[in-house]
Amino acid sequence: MPGQLMFKQSSCSLLDVRILVEGGSRLTCLDYRVRQVSGVGFMKNRNLLWVIFLVAVIGVVYLFYQQPGWLTAGEDDEILEELEENDRLEQDREVPGKLEPEIIDENGQEITIPEGPEREVVLDNLSIPWELVFLPDGEKLVTERAGNLLYVSEDGQVESMQIERVEHAGEGGLLGMALHPDFTENNYLYLYLTARVEGGLINRVERYHFIDGELSKDTVIIDDIPGGTTHDGGRMAFGPDSLLYIATGDAGVPDLSQDRDSLAGKILRLEDDGSIPDDNPFGSEVYSYGHRNPQGLAWDSESNLWATEHGPIAQDELNHIESGKNYGWPAIEGDQSAPGMEDPAMHSGTDETWAPSGAVYYDGSIFFAGLRGATLYEAVLSGTEVVEVKSHLQDEYGRLRNVVLGPEGYFYLLTSNRDGRGSPAPDDDKIIRINPGLFR
């Protein structure tokens, strides 16, 4: 019998590095197996055999790096398919009208770029349209600042309803509008309007029932928001928390914005019946303050709230809104900072005026309409930072009051060329449907 075996020779494989001792000499399994196969006296050839073994190992390593898939041919096809799929997606991104799987709406749902025309005027001969909402059955409602609520059927027939007690004075009038998140069950429609009361102009939010084209007033949600011929705010939207957010202006009295007991120059947050949510920051309707004239509200896919705001001379703002925070007006503007006050995420600089109004989140950006800028702006987001502001459709349609995303994936632009500050075309104002593929 050969020397002392530390393992059974029959279980000794080429890769086994255990050592056995035979006749007083140390053998590895490799030594043992090679000798078994070749019949060569291993002691005198041992160094040669190690050289052959090392060359073989180097050869295997070389082949692996040259063709990493050769050991795993089954997975290779999957890798290739994945690469080809990535190529296809990359190509699709360059072609408007194709499926764009990375575009998501504010609820985090995938949306598809529609295949219709790039631009189409869907309504014209309007007068200062301010807000547009889509009813569940394909009809639309539009507010006109003079006090008209337009009920637009699917084929574009318009029925106009005059809202009572609207005072169209300067920038005031019938402004914002919102459908209740459960509109299909309760038919609640909210309107933000300016009214004249003893002592002057105020703004209020009223709730209506809108059923089969019939409007009936339900209740006042919030009253006596300071109003004026300028800076009436007016945008409303229900947030991801199903609460009603209302943007109000300083009504031409800047100090009201820092007064947390005033409803002016604020973003307010209410339950759907007008009561105050338990987690509002100051136990009042106020959610954030220090605003001059915010007119756009939008939530991104992470449920961050963004608001556009008119600055005094240029220095228009896009702000990331958080509960209880002070956005500075009139103490700071532009690049100025102060303790306890928020800098805007982006402002237009000292030389450029956006005059920003309605806003919507789309595919990683806040798009917002510019009145003086006559541009659809796109603020590209990275988290809660704005990394770039792009300009679209500059001077093509004049002053833009709002941009709304429709249920079928189109943008709708509302012009504001008849508000006394524009140069209206004969068929202004308009609502223009824009294929967002134009911007992607």
Question: Could you list the residues that contact Ca ion (CB under 5 A)?
Answer: 327-328
Q: Which is nearer to Ca ion, 130 or 327 (CB)?
A: 327
Q: Is 123 left (phi over 0), alpha (psi -120 to 50) or beta?
A: beta
Q: Which is nearer to Ca ion, 327 or 412 (CB)?
A: 327
Please state the closest distance from residue 312 (CB atom) to Ca ion, in A. 10
Please state the closest distance from residue 356 (CB atom) to Ca ion, in A. 13
Helix (H, G, I), strand (E, B) or coil at 341: coil
Q: Which is nearer to Ca ion, 288 or 365 (CB)?
A: 288
Q: Is 40 left (phi over 0), alpha (psi -120 to 50) or beta?
A: beta
Q: Which is nearer to Ca ion, 223 or 343 (CB)?
A: 343
Q: Which is nearer to Ca ion, 101 or 324 (CB)?
A: 324
Which letter does DSSP use for residue 29 in this model?
Answer: H
Please state the closest distance from residue 172 (CB atom) to Ca ion, in A. 22
d(CA 118, CA 102) in angstroms, rounded, equals 20
Catalytic residue among 168, 180, 209, 231: 231
* Nearest partner of 360 among 313, 414, 285, judged by Cα: 414
311, with CB counted inside 10 A (0-12, 13-18, 19+), is buried
In the numeric block, which tokens belong to residue 179?
Answer: 């459908």
Reported in sequence order, the residue ranges of 185-263 that DSSP labels E, i.e. its strands, are: 188-197, 200-211, 214-226, 236-238, 244-247
Please state the closest distance from residue 347 (CB atom) to Ca ion, in A. 8
d(CA 331, CA 337) in angstroms, rounded, equals 9
- Facing residues of 187 across strands? none
Torsion sign, CA atoms 37, 41, 42, 47: negative
Residues in the chain: 440
Q: Which is nearer to Ca ion, 228 or 265 (CB)?
A: 265
231 noted as active-site residue: yes
The residue at minimum Cβ distance from Ca ion is 328
d(CA 417, CA 430) in angstroms, rounded, equals 9
127, with CB counted inside 10 A (0-12, 13-18, 19+), is middle
Please state the closest distance from residue 256 (CB atom) to Ca ion, in A. 15
Please state the closest distance from residue 329 (CB atom) to Ca ion, in A. 5
Active site residues: 231
